[in-house]
């Protein structure tokens, strides 16, 4: 379902123009990029956002706290050494 929506030109235009969505995605990227702005940081942010988004919509049969705990644990494994969160 997500791949269909991501390739739909109407949905893409809507999300590109929807200010609340853009605001949330900008904040997510800032958090995931840890203050860096180089291409590697941008690709890492996109990879992590995709992994988180995929896990959240997957039918894992976990309560919210268990899912959150596991997401934090797994994402930390993917972050480079010395990564620092910035807001």
Amino acid 60: pLDDT: 87
| Domain regions of the chain by residue span | 2-78
Amino acid 5: pLDDT: 63
Which 8-state DSSP code applies to residue 80?
P
Amino acid 73: pLDDT: 92
Amino acid 85: pLDDT: 62
Contacts of 51 (CB under 8 A, 6+ apart): 74, 75, 78
Ranges of the chain whose pLDDT falls below 70: 1-6, 84-87
| C-alpha dihedral (57, 59, 64, 67), degrees to nearest 10 | -90
Residue 70 tokens read as 């596991």
Amino acid 65: pLDDT: 94
Give the tens place of pLDDT for each residue, 28-50: 888 878 777 889 888 888 888 88
Task: Kindly report the pTM of this predicted structure.
Answer: 0.63
- CA-to-CA distance for 69 and 66, rounded, in angstroms? 5
């Amino acid at each position: 379902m997500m791949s269909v929506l991501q390739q739909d030109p109407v949905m893409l235009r809507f999300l590109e123009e929807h200010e609340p969505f853009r605001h949330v995605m900008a904040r997510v990227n800032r958090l995931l990029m840890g203050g860096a702005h180089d291409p590697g940081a941008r690709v890492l942010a996109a990879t992590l956002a995709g992994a988180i988004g995929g896990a959240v919509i997957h039918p894992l049969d976990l309560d919210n706290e268990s899912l959150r705990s596991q997401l934090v644990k797994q994402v930390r494994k993917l972050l480079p050494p010395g990564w620092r969160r910035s807001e």
